[in-house]
Chain A
Amino acid sequence: MPDVRQLSPAAVTPIGVSARLGTAVLALLVIGTVLLAPFLLDTYMLNILIRAFFVAIAAVTVDIMWGYCGTLTFGQSAFFGIGVYALAIVFTEFGFGTWQILFALAAAIIVSGVVAALTGWLSFYPGSTPLYASIVSLVVPIVLVQVLYSGGTFTGSSSGLVGFETFDLSLESWFRVAGLGLASVAAVALVLMQSDTGRLLKALRDNDERCSYLGINTSRYRIIVLVLTAIVAALAGFGYAAFGGVAAPENASFTFGTRLIVMVALGGRGTIIGAIVGALSIEVASAYLSGSLPYVWELIIGIALIAVILAFPDGLVGVIHKLTRGVQQPRTVPATRLCPIAVSAAVDGGSDIAIEVRELGRHFGSLSVLDGVEFTARRAELLSLVGPNGAGKTTLIRCLSDGRERSTGFVAIAGQPIDRLPPDRIVRFGLGRKFQAASFFETLTVAECLRVARTHRARPSLTSTSKVLELPVAAISLLEQSGLADRLGEEARKLSHGLKQALELAMVLSLEPEVLLLDEPTAGLTRAERQGFADILTTLASRARLCILLVEHDLDFVREISSRIIVLHQGKIALDGSVDEVVNSALVREIYTGQQYTASKVGP
């Protein structure tokens, strides 16, 4: 037993905190432990740990899906099971040999990949919720186990497959293979999750909607991650069956899937180390306890799960981090350098019309929120959309930025019809949308948020964190003006309300949009911040020739900056004209002051 503990302190030391030297020492330590441990452990313990290593690999994949991407998945056990059965079926049917090994490996990879792609297609689409994806992931192992049950002698039905010939390795060799396998999976996962790509995954977890409005096809990313983690889990299952020489339906079951989640939850989600610690400790403890106290052990697991979720959502690793926080230095974020880039000049010669809307309607049953809305907006125009609450302003913005929102009518952005396209495609036409309530990525730093916004222009690195952040001039000047440029390393959620708004606008400007939709960008800002916003917007319209559509309540603000105003009233365009025409019109006075049209005529 004391030898097991040797593993844990080394494993718990957070990787990536210190410099490369620390990482190298740690890697050597892990490899050394894995190579030497077989001499110190008894056979029973070795047996348990080898299995635990393979299970831990599956737990790491659960952690990536759940802790990093935000999808609670019960389905990884199914992919593990596919790996187990690929080996067992091939070796049972065709015997043991080189081509059989390769064939079984290929089967494990291909079948798990295809099933994962199918599951991903069912779980992730524009508009699906994390809750729903969770339920679908639950269906996968249940279906698979039923298929295994009804497979007759081919799958061994409920008793599984045993007695096939498999690799003839000593226990010590198995320990090293499994241990190094786990160590390399952990290392790859750590590097990936610390890289810019890993940060993009966290952005998906934090705010899926913002991601799609940054032109990122979130469903595609989630499906890719699912397929990759499924293949890794299948390979872990392959190793598990190769060592154990047994395939049982339990290896693919939903119970095992939830067990994997329990491991990650107890160890600490969102940290690779946490998943490994959780998996190893539960596997070892259950090997010793489940025999002597079967029901009580399950009971303890259940109680521990509830306690951890309620009291320590970050698991064991989180608790250790909290206890040692005084000792450790805070994580130093590598300084990011801003680098201005020239925006590719808007394609000239094309039409000057940036937004075209014809016969737009939005109905909920018999209720019409928008009806027969028609207008066009040109480049370099700063168009304000005003109207009382409930006039349909935000709905109109939504209909312009999401092709599935409108009930009837035609919308084109920068000359391209948006059809029924999801937001990420429309963003690629040159649309940028800022939400009413600042929408950004809570746990990312300012620089990381901006980098996610650049995803479609600069493919994020898989292995490293870039130190240079290339942004369009407009975004940089906004960052400098607002003071965000000096706070690039700060976590976004800790910013003030005004800075959050500025950050989101800077993210949207980083898209290099041609059309900018802003929903009440100045709500809750101070007078000074508001003036700053006004200056930025007018510059963008006049210099960068952006078409800006602004929803705003504050008529003074609107009057100051707009080149044109549209008044929306009860879902219809009531007025569309120059600032003077609109502001002085009787209708606007009536809507805003409640005075009757006729009464205002008689008034002074």
Chain B
Amino acid sequence: MLTLILDTVTTAALLFIISSGLLIVFGVMKIINFAHAAFVTVGGYAALVGSRLGLPWALVLPLAFVTGAVCGAVTEATIVRWLYRRPLDAILATWGLGIVIGQIITLIFGREVQFVQAPITGTVGLLGVDYSAYRIVMIAAAIMVAVVFTALLSGTRLGLTTRAVIMNEMLAQGLGVDSSRVRLVTFAIGSGLAALSGALITPLSSVDPNMGLPWLISAFMLVMVSGGSLFALAASCVVLGGVQVIVSTFVNPILGGLTIAICAAIVLRIRPEGFARA
């Protein structure tokens, strides 16, 4: 029972870390970044390179974030910027970018699955249950992402302008907010978060050129259900992540992997505003 709860919380934490980058891009730009999975993969390989070079994890994580953020900034400036008026085309162009990144990684690193040693290994005893220490760390990581996120949005000038752009872009522009800069920075941060999450999940899974894909659909659906709010995203991660854990444990893992997508689709059909105003 306790293991189940821990599984739920850690799964929710993982989902939250991965979808938060997608959420901020969707919130500000109203587009879905299909290259998100590719940026997660980029983060995974950044972690791989970093750990091969013998960097400490305290440096590997920033390295992954910066790599992702740079990729994101370049993407925004060269591709996404021209497609704000065509959100469906933005999906396609970012999907094309995802293919390109995936193939470049394959050309450089090869197709084979590789592994990264976790910085923290072993288990910890928690209320009489032995549980993977690294998964516990994920909870802390998710909380940190949430806290930094909230602090950025509510405590900085950039956050203020970002919120203004989210609420009413025309008005914000009229008031002198450089919304194209806000978008560039947002997209860079979103991609950086994707890469960071990629680096964080590598010790749990493995590194291969398509490692980001399995997470993509769940992340999309969670973002749609949460309707652009960080708090609602956290709530949906816990609820739907919990359902996923239960289905995976008691029914079968394959069906478990589909739970979030199916549940979210049904939730949205019955309650189009999702969990946003729940």
Q: Which A residues fall within an 8 A CB radius of B?
A: 70, 72, 121-122, 125, 127-128, 130-132, 134-136, 138-139, 142-143, 146, 149-150, 258, 261-262, 265, 295-296, 298-299, 301-306, 309-310, 313
Contact = CB atoms under 8 A, between A and B. Distances in A.
Interface in B246-272: 252, 254-255, 257-258, 261-262, 265-266, 268-269, 272
A138 B220 contact: yes
Given A130-B87, A150-B254, A301-B99, 16 more contacts: A72-B88, A72-B91, A128-B272, A134-B88, A139-B217, A139-B221, A143-B258, A146-B257, A150-B252, A296-B107, A299-B107, A302-B103, A303-B96, A306-B79, A309-B89, A310-B82
B178 to A, nearest CB: 23
Interface centre among B91, B102, B224 (most CB of A within 10 A): B91
Given A143-B261, A146-B254, A295-B106, A303 B88 contact: no
B159 to A, nearest CB: 23
Contacts of B258: 142-143, 146
B16 to A, nearest CB: 19
B188 to A, nearest CB: 19
26 contacts: A72-B91, A122-B265, A127-B272, A128-B272, A131-B31, A131-B32, A131-B87, A131-B88, A135-B221, A139-B221, A142-B261, A146-B254, A150-B255, A295-B106, A295-B107, A298-B103, A302-B96, A302-B100, A302-B103, A305-B93, A305-B99, A306-B96, A306-B97, A306-B100, A309-B83, A309-B92
B96 A305 contact: yes
A118 to B, nearest CB: 10
B100 A149 contact: no
Nearest to B272: A127
A149 B214 CA distance: 15
Interface centre among A142, A261, A302 (most CB of B within 10 A): A302
B99 A121 contact: no
B95 interface: yes
A305 B92 contact: yes
A141 B217 CA distance: 11
A37 B96 CA distance: 34
A121 B266 CA distance: 10
A128 B270 CA distance: 11
8 tightest A-B contacts by CB? A302-B99, A305-B96, A302-B100, A299-B103, A306-B96, A309-B93, A72-B88, A139-B261
B9 to A, nearest CB: 25
Contacts of B106: 295
Contacts of B104: 299
Contacts of A295: 103, 106-107
Contacts of B97: 302, 306
Nearest to B257: A146
B82 A143 contact: no
A302 B261 CA distance: 26
B221 A309 contact: no
A135 B274 CA distance: 15
B265 A136 contact: yes
A143 B98 CA distance: 21
A150 B255 CA distance: 9
A299 B265 contact: no
A309 B89 CA distance: 7
A155 B160 CA distance: 54
Interface string B149-168: 00000000000000000000
A15 to B, nearest CB: 26
Q: How large is the interface on B (under 10, 10 to 19, 20 to 34, 35 or more residues)?
A: 35 or more
B99 A298 contact: yes
A132 B255 CA distance: 22
Contacts of A301: 96, 99
B213 to A, nearest CB: 9
B174 to A, nearest CB: 16
Interface string B68-85: 000000000001001100
Given A146-B257, A303-B100, A139 B92 contact: no
Interface in B102-120: 102-104, 106-107
B88 A130 contact: yes
A295 B109 CA distance: 12
Nearest to A70: B88
A125 B99 contact: no
A383 B102 CA distance: 62
Contacts of A299: 99-100, 103-104, 107
A134 B94 CA distance: 14
A136 B225 CA distance: 12
Contacts of B254: 146, 149-150
Contacts of A131: 30-32, 87-88, 91
Interface centre among B30, B32, B83, B93 (most CB of A within 10 A): B93
A121 B269 CA distance: 8
Interface in B33-76: none
A258 B255 CA distance: 23
Nearest to A121: B269
Interface centre among A128, A298, A306 (most CB of B within 10 A): A306
Nearest to B31: A131
Nearest to A303: B100
Contacts of B89: 309, 313
B268 to A, nearest CB: 7
Contacts of A132: 224, 268
B86 to A, nearest CB: 8
A138 to B, nearest CB: 6
B224 A135 contact: yes
B262 A143 contact: yes
A124 to B, nearest CB: 10
Contacts of B261: 139, 142-143
A489 to B, nearest CB: 28
Contacts of A304: 96
A150 B252 CA distance: 10
B262 to A, nearest CB: 7
Contacts of B252: 150
Nearest to B220: A135
A135 B32 contact: yes
Interface string B181-202: 0000000000000000000000
A506 to B, nearest CB: 28
A309 B96 CA distance: 9
Contact of B262 (A138, A139, A296, A310): A139
B217 A138 contact: yes
A136 B87 CA distance: 16
A258 B95 contact: yes
Contacts of B272: 125, 127-128
Contacts of B88: 70, 72, 130-131, 134
A274 to B, nearest CB: 15
B257 to A, nearest CB: 7
Contacts of A130: 87-88
Nearest to B268: A132
A304 B92 CA distance: 11
Nearest to B266: A122
Contacts of B265: 122, 136, 139
Given A139-B262, A302-B103, A265 B268 contact: no
A306 B93 contact: yes
Interface centre among A72, A132, A261 (most CB of B within 10 A): A132
A189 B266 CA distance: 32
Contacts of B30: 131
Contacts of B266: 122
B269 A122 contact: yes
A121 B100 CA distance: 34
B248 to A, nearest CB: 12
B271 to A, nearest CB: 11
Nearest to A138: B217
A301 B100 CA distance: 8
A128 B30 CA distance: 14
